[in-house]
Amino acid sequence: MKVIIIGGFLGSGKTTTLLKLGKYLNDKGEKIAIIVNEIGEIGVDGTTLDIEGVETREITNGCICCTLKIDMEQALDSLAEEYGPDTVIIEPTGVAFPRQIKEEIELMKITDMEFSPIINLIDGSRFDLEIEQVPKFIKTQIADADILGINKIDVATDEQVSKVKALLQHCNTDAKILEFSARENAGNFKELIETIGGKGKQRDHFTKQNSIAESNVSSHAIEYAIETNDLEIKKGHEMANGIVDSILSQFIQLNPDFIGHIKMSMDLPETFLKISLTSSTNKPEIEIFERENVANPKIRALAAVTNIRQDEVVKILENTIKEMFAETGITLQRIQQHTDTKNIINLCDISI
């Protein structure tokens, strides 16, 4: 069983890359499984992770390199026994250190397992903000990688890409650097897929670190039941845009240069809608999927952003959603919530 780890900070394009890679390998006849780690206990991506013929596991409510090692071992064991994949692709949360995950998995002593080169993705369009907001964290992720992928070259300028490449070469002289757009299958994306087939490098183990604490990210996730089946896609689209725009403007007031993730999804009667953005300078991206009729519409939201106090993240996320729905006369029923902050997750130095 081959294990591929795709790392990168929040919003670097890991899920898009994972889905494209999973589909490519599946189409080649390989038996593929995917493990995705969300920072909050609520899986916001939902339908976007569905690939026909691919087994998917979501591990939520923490970081698999810190607090969820047991969950990872259980997921890998169950996949090996029940599904028997040729390849397992792991997408850790954006506040994880990929090499630390690899080292934890190696300690699990799972038979017939080998690792592909560790991949770390960088958003070429906002790398200057990442280095400014969380310099030590980003440099550690870069140093972890065997392959460094400068992603989103379709929206980054040539000057931005050149600047990022020069810094990556300085921070990690041994890594292979590839420039591509996972969304557009452009640049060196095909080469990335081909390179993954190789073997990962063996390195000396390093001291465990609390990646969430070093990321300066506070997060909050919440899920509500929508108490109506009459919310049409057009209206849902308008409300989703309004909610994300409002959250964005409030976060900018507190940290004009924040990076991270604001993600929201809606389960509507015959549609799954997802909207996300990754920094104070980006525009929201919207995806709409047709689906079978949903008996219980829901809205899920996650905010994980740098250098904003956790209580502010909670207040802004919850109040904005409730106020937007109250204006339309639609009732929400809270299902669950989860809050993470760098001050309360401190289990990284505890080994299983």
Q: Are 64 and 96 within 8 A, CB to CB?
A: yes
Binning pLDDT at 50, 70 and 90, where does residue 41 land?
Answer: very low
pLDDT at 66: 43
- 215: pLDDT strictly greater than 50: yes
Q: Are 258 and 133 within 8 A, CB to CB?
A: yes
152-161: pLDDT as tens digits? 999 999 999 9
106-121: pLDDT as tens digits? 888 778 889 999 999 9
Domain ranges of the chain: 2-212, 216-340
CATH number of 2-212: 3.40.50.300
- 316: pLDDT strictly greater than 80: yes
Of 3.30.70, 3.30.300, 3.40.1130, 3.30.450, the CATH number of 216-340 is 3.30.70
pLDDT at 44: 52
Domains 2-212 and 216-340 share a fold: no
Determine whether 105 is exposed, middle or buried from the number of CB atoms within 10 Å of its CB (0-12, 13-18, 19+): buried
pLDDT at 352: 22
- 62: pLDDT strictly greater than 60: no
Q: At what angle do helices 69-82 and 98-106 cross, to 10 degrees?
A: 60
